[in-house]
A and B are shown apart, each in its own frame.
Chain A
Amino acid sequence: MNTINNNTDFLLSIENLTVSFDGFKAVDDLNLYVDENEIHVIIGPNGAGKTTVLDLICGRTRSTDGSIKFRNKELTDMREHEIVREGVGRKFQNPSIYEDLTVFENLELSFPRGRSVWGALTFQRDQDVKTRVHEIAGMVFLDELLDKQAALLSHGQKQWLEIGMLLIQDPELLMLDEPVAGMSVSERKQTAKLLNEITKGRSVMVVEHDMKFVEDIAHRVTVLHQGKILSEGSMAKVQADPKVIDVYLGH
């Protein structure tokens, strides 16, 4: 195996990562690197292992083998909330927000303070919190809806709210799983704008199917197929790769 070295300049370096479910290798000896300030998009057919990679990084799934280093810190044996506290944020495919709470409360709960039981009990809604919540709500187009119960938002607004909940944590690596799925055309445009806005000063990994959207945002693209990297590089390079064409069109 060509392990490069133990310390890299990459923000995130995944090496020899493998996970198998009862013998089925969903991710197979994967090597993948993410630079600072990079928007890295993972594409690939269904079942390629895209979401599994995100799950592995954020600790939702435990790897069978290999390493995931974030700022040269090993993530594979850390627990989810510890990984989050390291600065990795994760948005799920289906909007996962707290429907019973208001938009304000959703954002407030994600504010990175008072995360222990005692801290939560003594948490004060001070000016800091309010300012930050208003600021983020403005970014995700929800500043008018702060008192609305989250369950009553539209699908697109829920997606934005979840992105907002990540932003308020100010993560260094933001992972988005199909952020525009189920959105209207105008919402997609707004989302692309939003992503370009929020990626300033951080790295983003995106799993996406919508090629138009990928083209709009991607700095670098990785194509996964059957748990392995099929192709990697700029969007143009990947699109021209015959292996990729074969996988996408050959089926």
Chain B
Amino acid sequence: MFADYTWTELGSIFAMQGFAGLILFSVFVLMALGLAIIFGQMGVINMAHGEFMILGAYVTYLCSNFVEAHFPALFGIYFFFAMALAFVAAGALGALVEWSLIRHLYKRPLDTLLATWGLSLILQQAYRSIFGAREVGVSLPNWLLGSVPLTDIIEIPINGIFVMVLTFVIAIGVYFILFRSRMGMQTRAVVQNRVMAGAVGINTQKVDRNTFALGCGIAGIAGSAFTMIGSTGPTAGQLYIVDTFLIVVFGGAASLLGTIASSFAISQAQSTMEFFLSGSMAKVLTLLTVVGILMLRPQGLFSLKIRR
């Protein structure tokens, strides 16, 4: 399979594929972080996660239209407002869903799966009714388009860099929220011992709601970022959900570091295989490998050995 290429070309291949893998990695991390919080920390299976992402994408779409029409001068930087709004919108919807649906189901994780699947159907149809069945295009400011040429073959897409930086910032942010803030401490306390946390004065209901909202909000940001590379349609969210769950489970559900590591492993494997095999087979092989490893090591890549 290497025979067709010269050495310089091979060098470029690995450089470019590495970079393609990094973009895929960022995408995976963005998708999975919100889910890792909700699933890993709360044990809730949110099958509507993809729809929260798409909500973020639609918010971005509305923003871009609004800004383009009313404040064309600000168009270059609208994306940042849009992301903030996407976070707020998805987070607010998340809080609402937690209040009306999820909080009744904490003891029945498999039932959250069914209920949130129902929710995802409703959201999909809602998007379809509001925005139409067709995909919508989000126009991007010019500085986000195009690429930086490194050599005559290697070019680095600007939106790829943007997504990577964004992922980095959000990952750091999540780390601080969960491990360095009071809210994070409370969240972890509730996860580890709900009764005790309640007894020492933590409002467990509020913590649950905030955690869920945070996870959904991050999904919203992810959706917003995806408008740069993917499509925004009512059913686009479904494309991501299985991959995302596999990433989180593969990483070891309770571990954020695991999520990041598994995103990295899966993205690099997939992008490398895509180069040498056909796209379909690369996908099948990647998923098969992940499932195979999970069968051998069900707790995922990273997990604490805990006393029972």
Q: Do chains A and B touch in the complex (CB under 8 A)?
A: yes
Instruction: Enumerate chain A residues within 8 angstroms of B307, measured Cβ to Cβ.
Output: 21, 26, 52
Contact bitstring B267-308, A, C-beta under 8 A = 1, else 0: 000000000000000000000000000000000000011111
Question: Interface residues of A: mostly helix, strand, loop or mixed?
Answer: mixed
A55 pairs with B308, CB closer than 8 A: yes
Docked complex Cα distance between A22 and B308 (Å)? 13
* Number of A positions contacting B (CB below 8 A): 7
Q: In the assembled complex, which residues on chain A have CB atoms less than 8 Å from the CB atom of B305?
A: 21-22
Instruction: Tell me which of B304, B305, B306 has the highest count of chain A C-beta atoms within 10 A of its own C-beta.
Output: B305
Q: Which residues of B contact A22 (CB under 8 A)?
A: 304-305
Query: Which among B304, B305, B307, B308 has the greatest number of chain A C-beta atoms within 10 A?
Result: B307
Task: Point out the residue from A21, A55, A60 that lies within 8 Å of B306, measured CB to CB.
Answer: A21
Query: Does A61 sit within 8 A of B, measured CB to CB?
Result: yes
A 49-75 contacts with B by CB, 8 A? 52, 55, 60-61
B241 to chain A, nearest CB (A): 33
Q: In the complex, are the beta carbons of B304 and A61 less than 8 A apart?
A: no
Chain B neighbourhood of A21, CB < 8 A:
305-307
Interface pair A60/B304, CB less than 8 Å apart: no
Q: Chain A 23-61 against B: per-residue CB contact (8 Å), 1 yes, 0 no?
A: 000100000000000000000000000001001000011
A22 to B304, CA, bound (A): 8
User: Roughly how many angstroms separate A127 CA and B305 CA in the complex, as a whole number?
Assistant: 47
Name the distance in Å between A170's Cβ and chain B's nearest Cβ.
27
CA distance A55 to B308 in the complex (A): 9
Cα distance A52–B307 in the bound complex, in angstroms: 8
Chain A 5-23 interface mask (CB, 8 Å, partner B; 1/0)? 0000000000000000110
A52 to B305, CA, bound (A): 14
Q: How far is the CB of B281 from chain A (nearest CB, A)?
A: 38
Q: How far is the CA of A93 from the CA of B305 in the complex (A)?
A: 21
In the complex, how many angstroms separate the beta carbon of A53 from the nearest chain B beta carbon? 12
Q: Which residue of B lies closest to A49 (CB)?
A: B307
Find the A residue at minimum CB distance from B307: A21
CB distance from B304 to the nearest CB of A (A): 6
Taken together as a complex, chains A and B put the C-alpha atoms of A21 and B305 apart, in Å, by 6
Min distance, Cβ A3 to any Cβ of chain B, angstroms: 27
With A and B bound together, what is the CA distance between A76 and B308 in angstroms? 18
Return the chain B residue nearest A26 by Cβ: B307
- Closest chain-A Cβ to B245's Cβ sits at a distance in Å of 27
Which B residues are in CB contact (< 8 Å) with A61? 308
Within 8 A of A (CB), among B42-97: none
Nearest chain B CB to A71 CB, angstrom units: 27
- In the complex, what's the smallest C-beta–C-beta distance from B172 to chain A, in angstroms? 26
CB closest chain-B residue, reference A60: B308
Interface positions of B (Cβ within 8 A of A): 304-308
Q: List 7 A-B contacts (CB under 8 A).
A: A21-B305, A21-B306, A21-B307, A26-B307, A52-B307, A55-B308, A60-B308
Please name the 6 residue pairs, one residue from A and one from B, whose CB atoms are nearest each other, closest first. Answer: A21-B305, A22-B305, A21-B307, A26-B307, A22-B304, A21-B306
Using a CB–CB cutoff of 8 Å, the interface residues on chain A facing chain B are: 21-22, 26, 52, 55, 60-61
Given contacts A21-B307, A26-B307, could you give 4 more A-B pairs where the C-beta distance is less than 8 Å?
A22-B305, A55-B308, A60-B308, A61-B308
